[in-house]
Amino acid sequence: MSILIDKNTKVIVQGLTGKEGLFHTEQMINYGTSIVGGVTPGKGGKIYLGVPIFNTVEEAVKKTGGYVSVIFVPSYFASDAILESISMNMKIIVCITEGIPVSDMIKVKNFLLTNKKSTRLIGPNCPGIISPKESKVGIMPNSVFKKKGRVGIISRSGTLTYEAADQIVKNGHGISTAMGIGGDTIIGMNIREVMELFLEDIETECIVMIGEIGGRLEIEASEWMKKILKNKKPVIGFIAGQTAPKGRTMGHAGAIIEKKIETAQSKMNILRNNGIHIVKSLEDIGKTVSEIIH
């Protein structure tokens, strides 16, 4: 099985007609994703890559039945694109865009909370979600995710998601679903929420969590995992940024150490004490998966 998406998922691409949107839409189609429509204001009625384009998300949903959206919209317009999809009650929104102003994302989070929407937001500044042999919503490389399996991946980093998956596959295992939640300070779904979905998935037997310096997402997820009494699954953890100095952003807006507890070493110690299998190098992930599941 997989979480959130499968081969029947109907996807709408916001910003399909732009350079990035076109390239990655073609890759998603090649992977087998059901892309049912695109949205670009002013280009409604046109066809790109065999996909009909609409002026609004509302029109696209009514005409195609799409219920998942992926966003390739420039940063200063991306929050409006997210809000438009939320207003249409999309089940899942994947926002690839990076550089969205924090003030814009505060408005998005408040809208989700105050309107009590059931929409799940993945990102922004993320690679999206992929379930091998089924569907891809985002920018993860098709070539890496060819093998379906029993390992779920949650990651704050796009590139490290691909590297971890590659290591897992090279050690003879496959991926159930891999999700990059994004590296910004304000994001949609967090690590704990994704862990819960993997615990409910009967075919996911092991979870790989790739974290970074800064914030408490990994700590909170491990503390929650330690407290639950049933349906536990082994979790392998890796924290990037082990040589990062305090006070300096390392790649992602959310990867900045503000407190000692947010350093890589402190996080690894806490995660280890909470029962997470810690690896110090990505190269050890595949080997550790092999030691845990057979």
- Residue 192 inside a domain? The answer is yes
- Cβ atoms 85, 57 nearer than 8 A: yes
- The answer to whether residue 287 is domain-embedded is yes
Check whether residue 158 and residue 282 sit in a common domain: yes
Asked whether residue 109 falls in the same domain as residue 207, the answer is: no
State the pLDDT at residue 254: 47
From first to last of its 294 residues, the chain has per-residue pLDDT tens of 689 999 999 999 999 999 999 999 999 999 999 999 999 999 999 999 999 999 999 999 999 999 999 999 999 999 999 999 999 999 999 999 999 999 999 999 999 988 777 899 999 999 999 999 999 999 999 999 999 999 999 999 889 999 999 999 999 999 999 999 998 989 999 999 999 999 999 999 999 999 988 888 999 999 999 998 666 899 999 998 755 455 444 454 444 445 556 678 889 999 999 999 999 988 999 999 999 987
Q: What is the CATH number of the domain that holds 154?
A: 3.40.50.261
Same domain, yes or no, for 116 and 167?
Answer: no
The verdict on 111 and 158 lying in the same domain is: no
Q: What are the tokens at 140?
A: 């993860």
Return the pLDDT at 259. 53
pLDDT in the model for residue 118:
87
Cα–Cα distance list, 20 to 24, 86, 139, 158, 218 (Å): 6, 22, 10, 16, 31
On whether the CB atoms of residues 136 and 130 are closer than 8 A, the answer is yes
Query: Same domain for 107 and 243?
Result: no
- Specify whether 157 is located in the same domain as 103: no
Q: Which of 87, 122, 157 is the last residue of a domain?
A: 122
pLDDT at residue 242, rounded to an integer: 56
Claim to verify: residue 158 and residue 47 sit in the same structural domain: no
Looking at residue 255, its pLDDT comes to 46
Q: What total of structural domains would you count in the chain?
A: 2
Query: What is the per-residue pLDDT for 207?
Result: 97
- Domain end point (choices 122, 152, 179): 122
Residue 24 sits in a domain whose CATH number is 3.40.50.720
pLDDT at 46: 98
Residue 15 domain flag: yes
Contact 271, 225 (CB under 8 A): no
Query: Is 244 domain-assigned?
Result: yes
Question: Do residues 157 and 118 both lie within one domain?
Answer: no
Last residue of a domain, one of 88, 122, 156: 122
For residue 184, what are its two tokens? Answer: 């910004």
- Is 282 part of any domain? yes
Q: Which residues are catalytic?
A: 252
Residues 151 and 284 occupy one common structural domain? yes
Residues 288 and 205 in one domain: yes
170 and 79 in a single domain? The answer is no
In a domain, 233, yes or no: yes
Q: Where are the beta strands (DSSP E) in the chain?
A: 10-14, 34-39, 47-48, 51-54, 68-71, 92-95, 120-122, 128-131, 135-138, 148-155, 175-180, 206-212, 235-240, 277-278
Angle at the Cα of 189 from the Cα atoms of 140 and 35, rounded to 5 degrees = 45
pLDDT computed for residue 71 by the predictor: 98
Say how far apart CA 52 and CA 25 lie, in whole Å: 12
The answer on 272 and 157 residing in a single domain is yes
Range of the domain at 52: 10-122
Q: Is residue 130 part of a domain?
A: no
